Amino acid sequence: MGGADEFPVGTCPGMCPLGELAQRERQGRLHRLELREGTRQGDPARVVKEYSRPAAGKELPRPQELRPAPVLLATVHYLLGQVAPRADLPPAEVHAFISDRLRAVHQDATLQQLRGAPCVALLERSLGYLLHAGYKLCWEPPARFDPHLHCTQLQECFSWLRRCYRDSCHHGEPAFQALFLLYNLGFPEALRQVLQLPDPVRASPELRTALAVNQAYLERNWARFFRLVQALPYLPICALHRHLGPARRLALLTFSHGFSTRNCRCPLTWLARLLAVDGPEEMAELCCHHGLMVLDGAVVFQKGAFRDPDVLVHSPSQLLMDSKRGEAPLLEIIEDACS
């Protein structure tokens, strides 16, 4: 891949080049997360380089406008450790800021052609945050959080990281290859790629568990699927979260055909445990959302009554998600999974 004459090496010592800081301050384009307390002035300890869309004919940044690998990693640590926990601002606004600044980090890494461990460190931590954000913001309206754009950003990060893994071995590879499979649950191409991984990676506990979850999903073995899901740690469940709604829909469809009789009633408490739903009240709402009749704490399965909802409801889960998160800081959870 070229040498130092082709690709610049960043020399910017801070999270944002001073020229950009001054320009955005003049133009009033600093985010409120970047301002000194009680002023409209930028705080160099808070201002983070924003993403700049590439354009034809646009000059490449100079070395002093690019951050070297250690500064990029420090920037990611700041975003995940100091900005992500902010509870005084709307979660979608905080995420939009972090997402944009992570794109700028990746852009700097691309322009310098970072490879190996420095690039892996950036991508693993970025993915950990993006998977967490996908769960925390799943019930936000599309105007505040676009799940399709978020998915695109995640898939691009996965693709880039997995290319890096092909060049050398990294401690975090089994965990992130498992997250890749869980995020793409049920997709044949994702399974094919995972099955082609080297034996030591494929035989790791993380990959074996992810493969078992994927197999249970493909076999429509919902008892085994949700039992395995409940045993997963926080980040793997974040990766899997977008598939829980479709999985529960398919499970209810299966039960509507298999237990379709007027005299058969299934207790909501049992069904909630089976499908890893927080409680019978939420289970009742889910059944009604799919057209199923709920009577006296039980659901009556009739295949003619089942209907596909226009929108699958995503909701926070104490049982599967929040209880696994605990009180640990997000950065600590992500660092435990990284190389």
| pLDDT tens by residue, 229-280 | 999 999 999 999 999 999 999 999 999 988 887 778 899 999 999 999 999 9
Q: What pLDDT, in 10s, does the model give residues 193-206?
A: 999 999 999 999 99
Place of tokens 């199923």: 292
Q: Which pLDDT score, from 0 to 100, does residue 5 have? A: 53
Nearest to 304 by CA among 268, 259, 257: 257
Which pairs count as long-range contacts for 215-219, CB under 8 Å and 24+ apart, including other chains?
A: 217/185, 217/186, 217/243, 217/247, 218/186
Count of Cβ atoms closer than 10 Å to residue 208 Cβ: 13
CA angle 105/322/73 to nearest 5° reads 15
| pLDDT score, position 313 | 65
Query: H or E segment at 110?
Result: helix 91-111
Do residues 71 and 13 lie in contact, with contact meaning Cβ atoms separated by under 8 Å? yes
Q: DSSP string of 292-307?
A: -EEETTEEE--TTT--
> Does residue 174 surpass a pLDDT of 60?
yes
Look at residue 70 and give its three-state secondary structure. helix
| Tokens describing residue 258 | 């298999």
* Strand stretches in the chain, DSSP E: 265-267, 293-295, 298-300
Percent above pLDDT 70 for the chain: 97
> Which pLDDT belongs to residue 57?
65
Mean pLDDT of 132-151: 93
What are 82-138's pLDDT values in tens digits?
A: 999 999 999 999 999 999 999 999 999 999 999 999 999 999 999 999 999 999 998
88: Cβ contacts below 8 Å, ≥ 6 apart? none
Query: What is the rounded average pLDDT of the residues 55-61?
Result: 76
Q: 35: exposed, middle or buried (C-beta count within 10 Å: 0-12, 13-18, 19+)?
A: middle
